[in-house]
Amino acid sequence: MARKEEESERSKSFTRRALFLAGGQAALLAALAGRMYYLQIVESDRYLTLAEENRINLRLVPPTRGYIVDRFGQPLARNQQDFRLVMVREQISELDVTLARLSQVINLSDKEIERIRRDIRRKRGFVPVTIRENLPWRDVAQIEVNSPDLPGVFIEAGETREYPYGGVLSHILGYVGAVSEKELTGDPLLELPGFSIGKNGIELKYEERLRGAAGTSQVEVNAYGRVIRELSREDGQAGQTLVLTIDAGLQTFVHQRLMSEQSAAAVILDIRNGDVLALSSVPSYDPSAFNIGLSNEQWQGLINDPLHPLTNKSINGTFAPGSTFKMIVALAAMEMGIGSDYKVFCPGHMQLGRSRFHCWKRGGHGWLNMIQGIQRSCDVYFYDIARKVGIDNISVMAKRLGLGALTGIDLPHERAGVIPTRDWKLANIGEPWQGGETLVTSIGQGFVLTTPLQLGVMAARLASGKAVTPRLARGIRADVAPEFEAPPIPEFESLGFKQAHLDIIHRSMDAVSNSERGTAYAYRITEEGQELAGKTGTSQVRRITMAERAAGVTKNEQLPWRRRDHGLFVAYAPIHNPRYACAVVVEHGGGSKSAAPIARDILLEAQRRDPAVRPTVPLLADTGNLLNEG
């Protein structure tokens, strides 16, 4: 019986404890239900949002970059479809078989196959691995035909920038390239792999206009970032088509004409509105090389080339203007009250203190008035009047004509050059101005430095008497052609010269080219009504020693190229009602006779083509200030 009681006692104890366990379990299960309530009801919205954020990825769709066209709509920079061959590993069952088949179609080298295999190992199975870039059209067709045998191999279309004119326009257009660390602004578009932005030239200057706005695409992705499907898409806005003032035909002509020299720069612009019709600097470079990617050797070759092919010498090269500066001295003198009939006797030199300043012509020019001084480019005449005018007045006049300051051309890396004054010398050299330096300045030597574009602007301002300012962008192309309307001509302000003074300058430059004793008579335009008026310039790059002078001035042709004089020529045409202004600088050309024929050919070609009067592409009405984002 005792045992039975014990049994019953134990049974009660067991029941108690088992029920206690069951109750505990029920409580814990209730706790799970409570947690479920908290997560799925109380916090549900928050987690739903997180789940959507996990799942939905906003992707940027890069915009198509805007074209750049010349004034007649000729494309200068456009986008070319390029084809890239890629493979997706997870869609390929037998990699070896696929690679072998591919090799039969497009001839893969062992090195390429090795790289592809390496890439495949590194990347996740669904990430496309590039087999080859810039696939030629023939290969694209071959792959497409064989596509049933090549599962997992795809052709991806992308866009690369193409410059149909190559080196002819490379200094103006610049180039595009991958975004560097420094150029990141926080705009996610810039962080897209493979996105290119303007690095130089117009591409850089009008980047905002050309870039356009990114579109967005909502895609569903899985945990590995793989895109499952596109949920919605918002198209971006393509970049605007930028119309330049350039005439591609004339530009090509100018570029090819300059190619006769080792290193030269030229500009021709429309005097009435400042449109730069051609702006060239040789040697140049092929901008598409920057797209494909330069090798280190190619890059080193470009930057170490003594002829500086990467430098746009027309705006970034500074040269002593030489005798092309003389009109400035003459204008300053006339404003000072020195008449054009003021005469000077040139014995071939001028003595100032203990120094002797030579004229380029040994033996001298004899008696000359102002027009003759310019016509024959007599140095002594300008030494004489410069002493009376003084350096500061000459500087003021030079700056009025556009020298010594940025022209404001819409290109990066423009240089201002130097127009010296007394204060400038004190500040920059730390020495007071010497009287002799005024004489040297008057013939465009010494401290004076100008860019070819500034000289072209000077020629335009001398021709028109107005504050001509150059520009390269005309506007944004209108999609729908409106009724033809005259392009907006910027009204330039008058520079305030007396017409009589301008007439003297015009007659002088006319005489330079079109009278037998003019220094550029050999390079005149003979076509009736197209005659040019110009001014020669020769700027020394070395000092001529007394010994040399005594032995007779060495001929330039006998000097090494690097020590030869620069040749310069500024001109406008036609003489009556001038429309085109031109400046040519031939680096180490050996004197103005290298530059003058080039300027003549350019002006002749310009008048033959006459781009300033032919109808141009329609523009959007309100393209007032292109550089201020509107």
Partner 1 sequence: MAISGKTLQSPTKNMNLAEKLWQVNWGLIFLVSAISFIGFTMLYSAADGSMDPWASRQAVRFAAGLVMMLCLAVVDIRFWFRHAYGIYFAVLVLLGAVEVMGTVGMGAQRWIDLKVIQLQPSELMKVALILALARYFHGLSKEEIGRPFSLIVPLGLVIAPAALVLKQPDLGTTLVLVAAAGAVFFCAGVRLWKFALVIVAGGAAVPIAWQFLHEYQQRRVLTFLDPETDPLGAGYHILQSKIALGSGGLTGRGFLQGTQAHLNFLPEKQTDFIFTMMAEEWGMIGGLCLLVLYALVLAYGFAIALRCRNRFGSLLAVGLTVNLFLYVFINIAMVMGLVPVVGVPLPLISYGGTAMLTVMAGFGLLISASVHRDIRISRRGVAEQL
| The two structure tokens encoding residue 559 | 């000097």
Got the DSSP string for 175-208?
-EEEPPGGG--S-GGGGSTT-EEE-SHHHHHTHH
| The two structure tokens encoding residue 110 | 């062992």
- Chain centre distance of CA 507: 37
Confirm if 150 and 101 have CB atoms less than 8 A apart.
yes
Closer Cβ to partner 1, 220 or 601, answer by number: 220
Task: Tell me how far apart the 2 most distant CA atoms of the chain are, in Å.
Answer: 159
* Least Å from the CB of residue 107 to partner 1: 39
How far apart CA 557 and CA 559 sit, in angstroms, is: 6
| The two structure tokens encoding residue 23 | 């109750």
ω into 283 cis (within 30 of 0): yes
* Least Å from the CB of residue 36 to partner 1: 5
Q: Which residues contact 29 (CB under 8 A, 6 or more apart)?
A: none
Closer Cβ to partner 1, 47 or 367, answer by number: 47
How far apart CA 336 and CA 328 sit, in angstroms, is: 12
Closer Cβ to partner 1, 125 or 136, answer by number: 125
* Least Å from the CB of residue 471 to partner 1: 54
Q: Where are the beta strands (DSSP E) in 224-274?
A: 227-234, 242-244, 264-270
Q: Which is the catalytic residue, given 170, 284, 314, 323?
A: 323
Is residue 340 annotated as part of the catalytic site, yes or no?
Answer: no
* Least Å from the CB of residue 88 to partner 1: 18
How far apart CA 252 and CA 269 sit, in angstroms, is: 15
* Least Å from the CB of residue 122 to partner 1: 19
Closer Cβ to partner 1, 90 or 149, answer by number: 90
Pick from 276, 368, 283: which is nearest to 330 by CA?
Answer: 368
Pick from 225, 269, 227: which is nearest to 245 by CA?
Answer: 269
Closer Cβ to partner 1, 51 or 145, answer by number: 51
Q: Which residues contact 107 (CB under 8 A, 6 or more apart)?
A: none
**Which residues of this protein are in contact with partner 1, per CB under 8 A?**
4, 6, 9-10, 13-15, 17-19, 21-22, 25-26, 28-29, 32-33, 35-37, 39-41, 43-44, 46-48, 50-52, 54-55, 220-224, 228
3-state secondary structure 372-438: HHHHCCCHHHHHHHHHHHCHHHHHHHHHHCCCCCCCCCCCCCCCCCECCCHHHHHHHCCCCCCHHHH
* Least Å from the CB of residue 57 to partner 1: 11
Q: Angle between the 137-145 and 95-106 helix axes, to the nearest 10 degrees?
A: 130
Closer Cβ to partner 1, 231 or 544, answer by number: 231
* Least Å from the CB of residue 123 to partner 1: 18
| Helix (H) or strand (E) segment spanning residue 537 | strand 533-539
Give residue 208's region: left, alpha or beta (phi > 0; psi -120 to 50): alpha
Confirm if 520 and 509 have CB atoms less than 8 A apart.
no
* Least Å from the CB of residue 60 to partner 1: 21
Would you name the residues annotated as active-site residues?
323
